[in-house]
């Protein structure tokens, strides 16, 4: 936390080393979050790339009251929500229609690629409605508390807890179905 505050200060004073450190510290975390939410590595890469470019250009104007991690996470999540709202990407896919994740065929200029055992997790996650998936991903991958997620989504903490529970139930039924097969 302290290190982040110092990084922000240096970044605000034009420090390229600070930007490098921020990038190296958070890119994997943000990419994982975006891929888990989107089930599309290519779009996830675009989202995280855009967030970092805007961040790199914002030294003069940026104002971060809380933690840097939370700020960048919020940028990624909001960008994904905007894309989904504008129908630029799929909110979720019905059971049985979940196709292979885009990154399965590796592009030469691909930034991120899912590990083999993660491909199946991604295929399963995309079958959960976005609102529920968002809570699961932010809680499990984003290390956010239900209270923080509730604040981010502007709903009550009970709603968030319910979405989490329903989401896990859905995942369980999908995975147990796979086991039965």
Partner 1 sequence: MRSADNIEKQINKFNLDINADKDRQILNELLQAQENANRSSDRPSRFSLRRMIMQNKKFSLTTAATVIIAVLLTITFLGKTPQAWAIEETIKALKQYNGAYLSGVCPGQTGSSVGFELWVRTNDTGTSTKNVLVKLDDGLMVWTKDNATYAYLPDQNTVLYEDAVTTGFSHFLGPELFELLSSIKDARTTYGYDSATGRKRAMLSGGMTDVSGAKFLQVEFDVDSKLVVSIKQWDNLRPQGTPTFHAFTIRYFEQLPDSTFEVHIPDGVTYIEKPVTIPEANLKILSNPRYGISSEGLTKEQASREILEQLYNAILDGDLKRIRNLAPVTESWPDDLLKNLLHIEHNNEIVQVLEIGGISRESASSLGPIVVVPVTTKRKDGTVWLANCIIQFRQIDGEASCVVHGPQGLPVQLESSSEIRN
What 3-state class would DSSP assign to 147? Answer: helix
Q: Is 5 in the site for partner 1 (CB under 8 A)?
A: yes
User: DSSP character for 45?
Assistant: H
**CB nearer partner 1, residue 85 or residue 106:** 106
Q: Is 23 in the site for partner 1 (CB under 8 A)?
A: yes
> Of 69, 81, 141, 153, which one interacts with partner 1 (CB under 8 A)?
141
Q: Is 172 in the site for partner 1 (CB under 8 A)?
A: yes
d(CA 51, CA 83): 13
Tokens of 109: 């200029």
Tokens of 7: 């990084």
**CB nearer partner 1, residue 27 or residue 81:** 27
Cβ-in-10-Å burial (0-12, 13-18, 19+) of 87 comes to exposed
- Name the site residues for partner 1 (rule: CB under 8 A): 2-3, 5-6, 9-10, 13-17, 19-21, 23-24, 27-28, 31-32, 35-36, 41, 49, 52-53, 56-60, 109-115, 117-118, 121-122, 125, 136, 140-141, 168, 171-172, 175-176, 179
């Amino acid at each position: 936390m302290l290190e982040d505050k110092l990084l922000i200060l240096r970044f605000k004073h034009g420090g390229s080393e600070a930007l490098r450190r921020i990038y190296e510290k958070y890119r994997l975390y943000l990419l994982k979050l975006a891929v888990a939410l989107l089930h599309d590595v290519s779009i996830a890469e675009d989202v995280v790339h855009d967030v970092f470019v805007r961040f790199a250009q914002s030294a003069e104007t940026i104002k971060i009251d809380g933690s840097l991690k939370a700020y960048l996470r919020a940028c990624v999540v909001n960008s994904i929500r905007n894309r989904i709202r504008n129908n630029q990407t799929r909110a979720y896919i019905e059971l049985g229609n979940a196709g292979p994740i885009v990154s399965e065929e590796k592009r030469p200029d691909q930034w991120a690629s899912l590990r083999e055992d993660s491909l199946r997790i991604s295929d399963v996650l995309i079958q959960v409605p976005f609102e529920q998936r968002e809570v699961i991903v932010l809680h499990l991958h984003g290390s956010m508390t239900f209270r923080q997620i509730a604040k981010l989504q502007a709903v009550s903490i009970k709603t968030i807890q319910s979405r989490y529970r329903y989401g896990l139930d859905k995942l369980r039924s999908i995975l147990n179905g796979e086991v039965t097969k």
